[in-house]
Chains A and B, each alone.
Chain A
């Protein structure tokens, strides 16, 4: 399996999804060599993690990640720059290093996650002659919110999709994007939904957000969103909805956690609407802080313009917060007991936010039923689906 990141060194849902699916694939009897473009300590026993290069995670991180389309130049940059490498070079380096792994490794299938691994995957396929699955967690069409995006990335995606023997898409929504925007024949694509395993959470006495806890005990309600702050995530729509909500009920606070190139724009927008008092920008959060971000919310909103899946919505349910999700998301295929709005429908979004935060009976009923839907949607099922696909491709039954 070719990946670009794994927790704890991940910048988004891709790393988490890879980790969880591998764990469950391993449980169902699949042996996995997971190739990463960097060296780091991983305490995972269920699969074999192979570094393609001996660079450290810090060197690697400098290059940017799978979500940094803009830093990926469309033409060859001149090669005089010393280390650290830019994203293009990382991409080439990965493909270069894969050669020796592909030559000596024993494997039946190559399974590659998202565009940065595609070049390496194609090399591996050429050398080994093994079938290739490309797994689409996100496309540049999504990341540029339906606009043109970076043609160099688009080209890599197209080549990867063409060279693949089979394609996994994280949702029907993503499958439709691949068919519509990339002209992929739909028979070639299998939908394998992401999932979340409902965990029993060990309660702690205090939420790390002390301010918000105090405000909540004074009758305030909290709306939460977690994610990268980029055009894809539709946060400008959420802030406009926040303005409407606050004009009706000034005791609603918004907590936006995450980072990204759009963050400053969002802060400016908030200020210009005069609602900075009610909108709290938090940085990337991890571990207990991330749990507490979900937990402090009375409702979680995923307002994405184009979201291949949207794992955060399921994580939120896991931590006991009901969700409002955009219709332009993959997760809307697996949840019915939530509000679904078009990302641009600010009126309806604000209406639904007020509806959930002001009616605990609604919030409880919705949460209870959507958690049940989550439980029906386990990684175990997804892994079984993937394993069936492997077996089908290898002619094993």
Chain B
């Protein structure tokens, strides 16, 4: 009897919960819509557009104390041009995944959001949480299509439809070694002569022989391996490195990267360097960034994937001049483009207006500068030509608007250049992007959902072996075969097959 009552109570509770959830949804929506009204109508060309408030979620990185002031200025522009106001919603990277999932699932007011392969773009597109952009781009995105043309914009597609537009920044990377200039000069190392990993070996030997206590080479950072930073010069990772294209001009044949002779020779090289003492013994437990280790006189160089202006920036971080030896041309893949994009949320009540705003981000220099650097005269001052810097008495420690997020907002090439970078940075960057070797599969993005289980299992195996093998701490003689065997039993072949299938479909659709 008692048990029965308990059971009934449980059922009753469940029903109440379900009802409450439904009630919440239907009651919640109208009250949300109410907040989107705006009474400050603008006359003129926008008369036919009703006032609308766009909620724009972005990654909050730097100092944004004065965001409300900047937002007010932004609204002056957007009200005049598209009769919309913008409500910025900064979300910290630590809270992003959690809050964004909940906001999308909870159907909260949200129009535009930052997305990327690393921030669940694939899942968001597959789940229908993002709006298809093809038609909207056709109608309202002329300037976006002008700047982000052809193959590049396809990086933000899923299943043949475009769901997000990439920001204009470094869409490619070149690969090589970044070294301390003082040491390079001391031993008269010819930087231009370093063209391969073998050339590097000789340089490392010099350092090892003459500079005790200094590591010859490091990875790009604690979460990277020495090999990781230059792998991009050999393969197109097709997103997650599970199934890759080797080389950039061959046919579209997906292979298991870890089984290839190229991979075997790379990890053998890493092992040789490790055994020779070029890579520090404690590399697998290191948590300190390479720049700091260089600053502390503990290292000579690190592997890196780079872009124009990379050395000058790294020199600031390391506190000593650095020079770079590039061993590959710039290479552009879907992954390097789909790093940061803007999408329109399904929650949006007015996707067309959202697209109009996105279009402004690719065409209106005033708007881009406002968002990137703040209000002229208050947050920055024009120093010379296109170069800007902090006003007198302001530096990065007391700045009230220093968001450092130019790479996120639309067309960065429209913005000023912060002092410290060369005045032709954007020209160089544009050339860099245009001259980059384009992967055959540029524009293809893999949807991992059909093989989700396998991807997770493979990831576990990778966590166990990958960094150790690629830093030389594990002997490839015995561990590489074990790694490959475990990957296979985790379902790597199935992922490769699925990727090949999707790639073939993509290729057929793009012929």
Q: Do A and B interact?
A: no
Q: Give me the interface of B with A, judged by CB distance under 8 Å.
A: none
Q: Give me the interface of A with B, judged by CB distance under 8 Å.
A: none
